[in-house]
């Protein structure tokens, strides 16, 4: 980019909203992968019209544009791999525009933080279920772009299940609307559907209309302790197939349990093969009892040695403590965590975990696993010494083998985090050349000059 | 098409599976619009490989291909407007391939009839909610292509909310898979998302993986009688916003009530402004009672003069009789029904119905309305004497005005039926030139030679 380019962009957004100094470029060069890729410029648009002007300009001058929310992604989706402009949406475009009680719909700008919306709608008796682990800082624009999941996906689904409509700016600057404030809308191609999970490569999302539910009045949590990971995985899919749909069905394996226990000393069952932590909700106390009893039955039928019900919020928080602190605790096994969010059909969970254990043995790497087993989504963490290149290489080989196993079992490379940069080298494991070609044609249709978040998704 | 073309296609599917005689062309020239558009050839492929061969051949020879299920669409989506080949999928590709109890998923071929799947999964305690009025004859391939809705959409959503994965053949013959048997899958662009509702213009769907639910154990129906359509419409959105989500919330206006009563003499309240018929479900009797009581409260608060609960299946069938027979009954008002499936945000229903009444007065046409108000979807039926060209013209003007009102109220041209041929002239009311251009780019990306179902959706 030339100095003139930067001046021209500044003319669009105004003084104090366009930067190319080292401090700003450093502040916008990373995400949760901890990779660093420096943009040449960071701009802070105030509104959709400015986004449109910026894209039109960059499309004409062939300058890459990288949309960015909180930069909390796990796969490098918001990194500027080819320089260009980071379009930072969290500074000005962060307003909840409307909470429409009558239609149970929220309209938000992309920079609104997930939890900000959750709190605002819960204050009026409504409910926005998608709850990625990053909910306290990730933005809804990022959630839509990566199609974020979370713990409550087992019952409520993921971000895409709540997006009713989007406004977006195309790479050529065109402003489009897709979808309506209605459950049903079948006029025209489902543009909102393809923008979701497109990782900022097809358009810049400028407004999101989200479906809300009414907030269930009651909930209860419980924990099951299992002798082996196999028995726990069997319990997961037998429970889900029994007619009960828990809000969440989370697990920790023995390595994860021990890591949390070592760090926090909470009296967790250190010898357990696995624990499952679950939550149910409903509008009647009877619904809660019915579901918790059914889960207890299924857990015990599948070998649970202990089943603990939370009787109040404090006890529930205690049960959830292990799950919420698994990720930071497992660093006791290695300074570098190669964290993947593979997902398989639920009935394949026992086999998946068995085969991950074999990979761990084969490469001599520790692989603690935890995650959202209610929807088949397992966070596998290959732990290595980040300063040791041989260890790192072993880790990467183990990851590749785990991806192969996942695809073999009918699963996906990513349940939540997207492809971005990190998983791009593995796209060939999951997609045929014909499928990759179709992805490239779609990219070309939206973005013929390849200016929008280039170099991502292995395209 | 030449005789050689037809011979070449016959070589792919085999003798007795490729026809160009008058009888076959007549049998495959219509849909529920009763328009007639003659193809030049009808083929009955046995499997995905044959579909691929046919498309490859037709793409090379620039022959239009029109995929067809039951031909029960309301907007001409399966009509051969430019001749070519009707690809009839209901004859051989009509198998339920798998009902996977453990993952609660069904895998089907496109020619499976909706009700065939509903019955098969209910027999094993599972549940496939989408229930278009055509459920007894429309195929799942057609349901996916038009993104069919139904009465249960108010609680459970529409076809797209149940599609987990698709297999499809692209116009060039490439076979692709999109999606997985998992709730979460964010690798690559959401191809399944864009194929849904694409009306057979982007690819031929050859296999569908559908999410199933467990079948709720209890249900109950009820009817509310209202003095005016406004009071009924207020009751709809106040109920939906109260935290209860009925499975269905259907309405009939006074004209529809009187038509059913005239034909069937069932003792319906002929002087009522409108009736609402609703159903709730759940796994506990307490859930049913809670929901029905809440609905009764909301109905009465909004002016209901009568509230009737069904105490058994027979009484429920009685309540539903009026709704199920509304469509065939209203023909007493005119030989030709111009039936549109407009949808607005629920809170706009009172205004929508008020303004439709004004349109009715202005053009002197009778417009009975009924439909799925729980999701804002109203079937408006402009009734005219089909043999009277002036009447027909008045009817079409009324329809155009109703579309304008719908869009003005934030609604959509089509909640269920799609655009096809019938609504193509109205696309400009709902979409900007930029949005239409994007649709055309997407069509071009999938189908550069425009062989797949050409002439549809106003592209």
Q: In the prediction, which pLDDT does B75 show?
A: 93
**ipTM at complex level:** 0.95
Distance from CA of B2 to the nearest CA of A (A): 30
Render B218-235 in DSSP notation, one character per residue: EEEEEEEEESSHHHHHHH
Q: In the prediction, which pLDDT does B34 show?
A: 86
Contact B52, B169 (CB under 8 A): yes
Going from the N-terminus, what domains does chain A have, and what CATH number goes with each? 3-88 (3.30.43.10), 96-214 (3.30.465.10), 218-409 (3.40.462.10)
Beta strand B126-127 with B213-214 is antiparallel
Contact residues on chain B for A157, CB-CB shorter than 8 A: 183
Q: How many alpha carbons fall within 13 Å on the CB side of residue A213?
A: 20
What distance in Å separates the CA atoms of residue B93 and residue B69, rounded to the nearest whole number? Answer: 10
Report CB contact under 8 Å: B182, A446: no
A-B C-beta contacts closer than 8 Å: 288
The alpha carbon of residue B226 and the mean position of all alpha carbons in its chain are separated, in whole angstroms, by 28
Nearest Cα residue to A439 out of A197, A126, A264, A87? A197
Nearest Cα residue to B378 out of B237, B184, B205? B237
Distance from CA of B331 to the nearest CA of A (A): 26
Beta bridge partners of A144: none
Report CB contact under 8 Å: A346, B103: yes
Whether the per-residue pLDDT at B182 is higher than 90: the answer is no
Task: Search chain A and give the residue with CA nearest B217.
Answer: A243
Of A334-343, B40-49, B166-175, least confident by mean pLDDT is A334-343
Q: pLDDT averaged over chain A?
A: 96
CA-to-CA separations, A360 to A261, A383, A389, A394, A396, in angstroms, rounded: 22, 10, 18, 10, 12
Beta strand A248-253 with A213-214 is unpaired
Tokens 């291909």 sit at which residue?
A: B65
pLDDT tens, position by position, B287-342: 999 999 999 999 999 999 999 999 999 999 999 999 999 999 999 999 999 989 99
Distance from CA of B62 to the nearest CA of A (A): 20
pLDDT tens, position by position, B343-393: 999 999 999 999 999 999 999 999 999 999 988 999 999 999 989 999 999
Distance from CA of B391 to the nearest CA of A (A): 27
Distance from CA of A153 to the nearest CA of B (A): 8
Render A273-332 in DSSP notation, one character per residue: SEEEEEEEEESSHHHHHHHHHHHHHHHHHTT-SEEEE--SHHHHHHHHHHHHTHHHHGGG
Whether the per-residue pLDDT at B184 is higher than 90: the answer is no
Whether the per-residue pLDDT at A186 is higher than 90: the answer is no
Q: Cβ contacts of residue A265 below 8 Å, gap of 6+?
A: none
Contact residues on chain B for A99, CB-CB shorter than 8 A: none
pLDDT tens, position by position, A269-304: 999 999 999 999 999 999 999 999 999 999 999 999
Report CB contact under 8 Å: A412, B377: no
Q: Cβ contacts of residue B107 below 8 Å, gap of 6+?
A: B96, B97, B98, B100, B207, B208, B209, B210
Contact B394, B365 (CB under 8 A): yes
Tokens 């509702």 sit at which residue?
A: B197
Report CB contact under 8 Å: A153, B439: no
Report CB contact under 8 Å: A182, B430: no
| Strands (E) located in B152-273 | 163-169, 175-179, 204-211, 213-214, 218-226, 248-253
Report CB contact under 8 Å: A181, B439: no
Contact B378, B342 (CB under 8 A): yes
Report CB contact under 8 Å: A182, B243: no
pLDDT tens, position by position, B73-130: 999 999 999 999 999 999 999 999 999 998 999 999 999 999 999 999 999 999 999 9
Average pLDDT over residues B217-234: 96
Nearest by CB to A184, from B104, B153, B444: name it.
B153
CA-to-CA separations, B234 to A296, B239, B240, B355, B406, in angstroms, rounded: 43, 8, 10, 15, 18
Share in percent of chain A as helix, strand, coil (round to 5): 40, 20, 40
Task: Search chain A and give the residue with CA nearest B430.
Answer: A187
Contact residues on chain B for A214, CB-CB shorter than 8 A: 241-245
* Alpha helices (H) along A184-274: 191-195, 229-240, 254-264
Task: Search chain A and give the residue with CA nearest B75.
Answer: A187
Contact residues on chain B for A212, CB-CB shorter than 8 A: none
- Dihedral sign from CA coordinates of A17, A20, A24, A29: positive
Share of residues in chain A with pLDDT > 70 (%): 100
**Rounded CA Rg of chain A:** 23
What predicted TM-score, i.e. pTM, was given to this entire model? 0.96
Task: Search chain B and give the residue with CA nearest A426.
Answer: B187
């Amino acid at each position: 980019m030339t100095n003139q380019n930067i001046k021209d962009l500044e003319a669009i957004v105004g003084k104090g909203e366009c930067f190319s100094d080292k401090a700003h470029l450093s502040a916008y060069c990373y995400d949760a992968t901890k990779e660093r890729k420096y943009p040449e410029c960071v701009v802070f648009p105030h509104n959709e019209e400015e986004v449109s002007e910026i894209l039109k300009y960059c499309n004409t001058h062939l300058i890459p544009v990288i949309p960015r929310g909180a930069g909390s992604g796990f796969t490098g989706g918001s990194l500027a791999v080819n320089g260009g402009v980071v379009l930072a949406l969290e500074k000005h475009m962060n307003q909840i525009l409307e909470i429409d009680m009558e239609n149970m719909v929220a309209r938000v700008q992309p920079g609104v933080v997930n939890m900000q919306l959750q709190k605002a709608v819960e204050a009026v008796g409504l409910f926005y279920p998608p709850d990625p682990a990053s909910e306290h800082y990730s933005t809804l624009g990022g959630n839509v772009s990566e199609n974020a999941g979370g713990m409550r996906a087992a019952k409520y689904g993921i971000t895409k299940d709540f997006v009713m409509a989007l406004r977006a700016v195309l790479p050529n600057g065109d402003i489009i609307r897709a979808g309506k404030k209605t459950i049903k809308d079948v006029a025209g191609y489902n543009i909102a559907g393809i923008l979701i999970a497109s990782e900022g490569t097809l358009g810049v999302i400028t407004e999101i209309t989200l479906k809300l539910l009414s907030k269930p009045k009651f909930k209860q949590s419980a924990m099951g302790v299992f002798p082996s990971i196999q028995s726990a995985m069997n319990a997961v899919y037998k429970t889900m197939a029994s007619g009960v749909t828990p809000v969440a069905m989370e697990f920790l394996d023995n390595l994860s349990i021990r890591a949390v226990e070592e760090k926090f000393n909470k009296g967790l069952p250190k010898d357990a093969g696995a624990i499952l932590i679950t939550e149910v909700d409903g509008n009647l106390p009877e619904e809660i009892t019915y579901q918790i009893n059914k889960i207890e039955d299924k857990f015990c039928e599948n070998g649970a040695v202990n089943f603990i019900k939370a009787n109040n919020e404090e006890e529930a928080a205690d049960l959830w403590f292990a799950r919420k602190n698994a990720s930071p605790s497992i660093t006791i096994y290695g300074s570098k965590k190669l964290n993947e969010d593979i997902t398989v059909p639920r009935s394949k969970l026992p086999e998946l975990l068995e085969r991950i254990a074999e990979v761990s043995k084969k490469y001599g790497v520790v692989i603690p696993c935890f995650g959202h087993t209610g929807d088949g989504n397992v966070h596998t963490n290959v732990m290595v010494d980040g300063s040791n290149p041989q260890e790192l290489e072993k880790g990467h080989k183990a990851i590749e083998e785990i991806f192969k196993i996942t695809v073999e079992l009918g699963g996906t490379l990513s349940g939540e985090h997207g492809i971005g940069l990190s998983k791009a080298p593995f796209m060939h494991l999951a997609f045929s050349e014909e499928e990759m070609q179709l992805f490239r044609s779609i990219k070309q249709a939206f973005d013929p000059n390849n200016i929008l978040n280039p170099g991502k998704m292995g395209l």
